[in-house]
Structure formats: C-alpha cells, structure tokens
C-alpha cells in the first residue's frame, strides 16, 4: 500500500491515474506465469486487510494496483481492469484471473464494462 500511495502522490493529481497505470503495466511486464484463482484471492484479501490500517484513501483503485504489485513480486500475473457501470454512472477497478474470472468481487462488478485491461494477453 505504501508503494501505491507514493506513486499516486508523486506528482500532480491530474496525472495520478497515468502514474498508476504505468506502474501496473511495468509490473505486469515482469510476470512469467498466471496466478491461480487461489493465489489471486489470497492477494486481494491480504491487501484488503492491510488497507484497514492505511492512513490514506483506500478504495478499489488503490487496492487493485496493490494486488498487481504484490503478485508481481512473485512474478504472477493477473488482469487489472478499470471500467464503468451505468445508472448511476460509477467507475470501478478490479482484478481478474488471466482466464477472465473475477477475483473476490461482488456480483455487481459484472455490470461494469472494462475500458482498460492491463495484463490481458491482448494487452501485450
């Protein structure tokens, strides 16, 4: 989480999303094998537990980026997704396994349309 907060706060607020996606792309490029659903779920739950202790805003964006970084340290890949859901319009970031399964997400995430997926085979 500390790395995510450092990257997010390292420059103007207007470019924070660009910095976050650059970190996710870099981390994804180092991964050599896909995380299993169990490994991905364990990483999501570990990050969520750590987020309870974090001093800053910790929502889906920060958590999902932290999961990618945590798994990348073991050279395990997942797909980081950022999308939008309609009515009311809302943004959401989440993790999927390489085969497309949602990881530790509520059913409402299925209403989101991904607009950016990093780590997807088509992303390379």
Q: Which two tokens stand for residue 11?
A: 């420059």
Question: Given a cut of 60, is residue 101 above it in pLDDT?
Answer: yes
pLDDT in tens, 6-32: 999 999 999 999 999 999 999 999 999
Mean pLDDT of the chain: 94
Prediction pTM value: 0.93
- 56 vs 7, 69, 88, 98, CA distance in Å? 13, 18, 26, 30
pLDDT in tens, 47-77: 999 999 988 889 999 999 999 999 999 999 9
| Cα 69–Cα 73–Cα 76 angle in degrees, nearest 5 | 85
pLDDT at res. 122? 56
């Amino acid at each position: 989480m500390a790395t995510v907060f450092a990257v997010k706060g390292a420059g103007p607020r207007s470019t924070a999303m660009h910095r976050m996606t650059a970190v996710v792309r870099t981390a994804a490029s180092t991964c050599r094998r896909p995380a299993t659903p169990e490994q991905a779920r364990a990483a999501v739950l570990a990050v969520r537990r750590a987020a309870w202790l974090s001093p800053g805003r910790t929502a889906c964006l920060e958590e999902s980026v932290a999961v990618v970084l945590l798994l990348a340290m073991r050279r395990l890949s997942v797909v980081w997704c950022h999308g939008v859901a309609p009515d009311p319009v809302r943004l959401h970031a989440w993790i999927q396994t390489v085969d497309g399964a949602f990881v530790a997400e509520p059913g409402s995430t299925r209403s989101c349309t991904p607009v950016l997926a990093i780590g997807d085979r088509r992303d390379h």
